[in-house]
Amino acid sequence: MADTPISEEEFQKFREFFYRKTGIQFESSKRYFVDKRLVERIEATGNDTFRSYFTMLRFQASGEELQQLTNLMTVNETYFFREEYQFKCLVDSILPEIVARKSSRSPIRIWVIPSSSGEEPYSIALYLLEHWAGINDWDIEIISSDIDTRILAQARQGLYSQRAIQQLPVRMLQKYFSRVGDGYQLCDDIRSAVEFTRVNLSERADTRAYRNFDIVFCRNLLIYFDDISRKTAAETFYDALNPGGFILLGHSESMSRISSLYKVRKFPEAIVYQRSLETR
């Protein structure tokens, strides 16, 4: 690292570029985190200086290096009740609006993508059971999708490490999980509450059937996409949602930088994006 120091000007230049490309903003306090990963990629790509690496990053037509760097700059992990404030927002702000305008007793439909190993869709099911009184009055459909069939099989199995369940209250752990070897397995009732499906979000044929959802959770996925794929995903969600439906992104993601299709809703718990009620 001492061989490829990154100057303040270079850091600022990189920070502006990376923000424009990904919407991820690094504060000056993250300087060490950013420098360390930049140096790692500078060395891995055989560049000698930040300047030559930055040129490559900017002008590589495939965008492959930007993807690699983005992967490295984001903490790719998931666990139960991650970004729990969004589930609170779901229960306290979003569902009351949806329920208030439902004209029939049709189920409330939630699409969770990516499913990854299932922590997120299962967290939603658990949170609704524990915190939403409406669960007694409404049917809920949770469909969770991922491009990776192996991770979907893992999700269906519902077997987790200590790390994945560490945010869960002990009471919930005891109520919904059983010990299996070194891990914890989610009970059958919750596992069967979620439908897992394989979907490539960039493939029209895959997403065409996904309609009439009230809520989409798509957290920490779009940051891995290039601009056009991100836009395509936003358009796919638009037609997957009912008018007035909501989409929740990861805390570092912003729909406003991707598409103008959605309205920003600032709830007390979180910022959420909404398809306009008047649209068809």
Partner 1 sequence: MAFIKKSPGSETLAHEERRFARDCAGLALELESADASERRWAARDLADCPDASALLLSRLQREDDASVRELILSTLTRLGDEVAVLGLVNCLRSENAALRNEAIECMKQLPDEVAPIMQCLLADADADVRIFAVNVLESLCHPEVESWLIQVIESDAQVNVCATAVDLLGEVGSAAARDALLRLKARFADEPYMQFATDLALKRLAAN
Distance in Å, CB of 180 to partner 1, minimum: 23
Q: Which is nearer to partner 1, 157 or 259 (CB)?
A: 259
Distance in Å, CB of 115 to partner 1, minimum: 12
279 is in an annotated binding site: no
Question: Site residues (CB under 8 A) for partner 1?
Answer: 7-10, 13, 16-17, 20-21, 51, 55, 58-61, 63, 107, 111, 125, 135-143, 145, 192-195, 197, 204, 208-212, 227-228, 231-232, 235, 238-239, 259-261, 279-280
219 is in an annotated binding site: yes
Q: Which is nearer to partner 1, 42 or 270 (CB)?
A: 42
Q: Which is nearer to partner 1, 20 or 131 (CB)?
A: 20
Secondary structure E strands in 36-161: 108-112, 140-146, 159-160
What is the number of H-type helices and E-type strands within the chain? 13, 10
Give the β-pairing of 213-218 and 241-249.
parallel
Measured CA distances, 71 to 24, 33, 67, 180 (Å): 12, 13, 6, 32
Q: Which is nearer to partner 1, 55 or 178 (CB)?
A: 55
Q: Which is nearer to partner 1, 61 or 170 (CB)?
A: 61
Q: How far from chain centre, in Å, is Cα 131?
A: 22
248 is in an annotated binding site: no
Q: How far apart are CA 154 and CA 151, in angstroms?
A: 5
Distance in Å, CB of 184 to partner 1, minimum: 20
Distance in Å, CB of 68 to partner 1, minimum: 15
Neighbour order of strands in the sheet with 159-160: 159-160, 183-186, 177-180
Q: How far apart are CA 144 and CA 120, in angstroms?
A: 9
Indicate the DSSP class of residue 168: S
Residue ranges at the known binding site for S-adenosyl-L-methionine: 76, 78, 82, 120, 146, 200-201, 219-220
